[in-house]
Amino acid sequence: MTRILVSEVGPRDGLQSIKAVMPTEAKKAWIAAEAAAGVREIEVGSFVPPSLLPQMADTAEIVAFARGIAGLNVVALVPNARGAARAVEAGVHGISIPFSMSETHSQRNVRKDHPAMLAEIAEVARIAREGGVHFAVGLSTAFGCTIEGAVPEDQVVRLAVAAAEAGAQEFSLSDTTGYADPAQVRRLVRKVKAAVGADKLTTLHLHNTRGLGLANALAGLEEGITTLDSSLGGLGGCPYAPGASGNLVTEDLVLMLNSMGLETGIDLEKLLAVRSILAEALPDEPLYGFTPDAGPMLDYAERIAR
C-alpha cells in the first residue's frame, strides 16, 4: 500500500491569513487532536516579527508544546535567516522558506529579488545544516501569479536548480494563487523532478480557490508526489478571491486518499471531530469542506479495508 503524508498547514497558512488571533491554548488543542487522529506532520507556525503577524507571536511556545507529542514532525515557515535561527533555537524538526517564482511577487512579498533570495536561501541552508534541521524550499507562485500572470515553467526549473545549488534539501511546488490545473501540475512536476532529482521534489502545496484542489492533488500523486499540504476546514480563505476556500481541505483530501486505498494513517472520524475546536475558537471564520456535510460513503469502511 502506498503511504502518503498529509501535512497539516492550517496552524500556519490558515491562521496567518485571517484577522482573528486564535488563543494559544486552542492552537495546542487543535494540534494535539490532529496528532491523535493520526496526522504525522504539522506546520505549527511561522517565525516572523509579531508586529507583522500577531497571529504567529506564540510560535516558539507552540513548537515547544508540539515537540512533546510523540511521532509528530514539527515544522515551521521562516521568511529569512533571522527567522531560521529562531526556529532552530525553538527546536523545530524542519523549516521551509517561500521562494516566489514571480520576481514581482517576491519583491512585494519579502522585498527581495531572485538573486537576493538565493543568497538568503544559502544562509538559511547553513543555519539548518549546523542546527541539524531539515530545510525545504517552497516554490511559490509556481503555477501563476496574480501580479504577473503566467510564470514560465522553464523559469521555475531554473530557479529550483539554483536553490538546490544554494543548499535546499527538498522542494514543494506551491499553487499560491489557485491558478494550477491538472495538466500543468503533471508537466511541472516532471520538469522539476528531472532537473533537481525525484527525491528532492516530494510535495505539493495546493489551494482550492477555483475548485481544482483535489484534481490537482490526484495529478500530483500520479506523478509520484508523496506529500500533500492541506488545512483543516480549508481555513484561511484566499485574499485574492473573496468567498473562495483557501488551502486544500484536509478532511476532503483524507477521505479521497483513504477511499483510494492509499495509506495516510489518519482516522477520518477523529479528524472530523477536530473541527469543533476551530469552530469554537474562531466562530466568525467560515470552514469549508464537503465531507463534513455529506459524511463518508456508506461503504467507506469496506473501501479502506481493501
What are the pLDDT digits (tens) for 59-101? 999 999 999 999 999 999 999 999 999 999 999 999 999 999 9
What are the pLDDT digits (tens) for 186-240? 999 999 999 999 999 999 999 999 999 999 999 999 999 999 999 999 998 666 5
Mean pLDDT computed over 135-147? 95
Q: What's residue 182's pLDDT? A: 98
Range of the domain at 162: 5-305
Q: What's residue 25's pLDDT? A: 98
Helix axes 153-166, 182-196, angle to 10 degrees: 40
Which segments of 174-212 does DSSP mark as H helices, in order? 182-196
Lowest mean pLDDT among 15-19, 180-184, 193-197, 277-281: 15-19
Quick check: is 145 catalytic?
Answer: no
Average pLDDT over the chain, rounded to an integer? 95
Flag whether pLDDT at 180 surpasses 90. Answer: yes
Q: What's residue 240's pLDDT? A: 57
Query: Cα 151 to the chain's mean position, in Å?
Result: 20
d(CA 214, CA 69) in angstroms, rounded, equals: 29
Q: What's residue 243's pLDDT? A: 63
Flag whether pLDDT at 268 surpasses 80. Answer: yes
Strands 73-77 and 94-100: parallel
What are the pLDDT digits (tens) for 20-55? 999 999 999 999 999 999 999 999 999 999 999 999
| Active-site entry in 95, 238, 248, 255 | 238
CATH of the domain at 299: 3.20.20.70
Q: What's residue 236's pLDDT? A: 82
d(CA 43, CA 138) in angstroms, rounded, equals: 13
pTM: 0.96
Q: What's residue 245's pLDDT? A: 72
Lowest mean pLDDT among 107-116, 160-169, 250-259: 107-116
Strands (DSSP E) found in 9-127: 41-46, 73-77, 94-100
Number of independent structural domains in the chain? 1
Residue 110 pLDDT level (bands cut at 50, 70, 90): confident
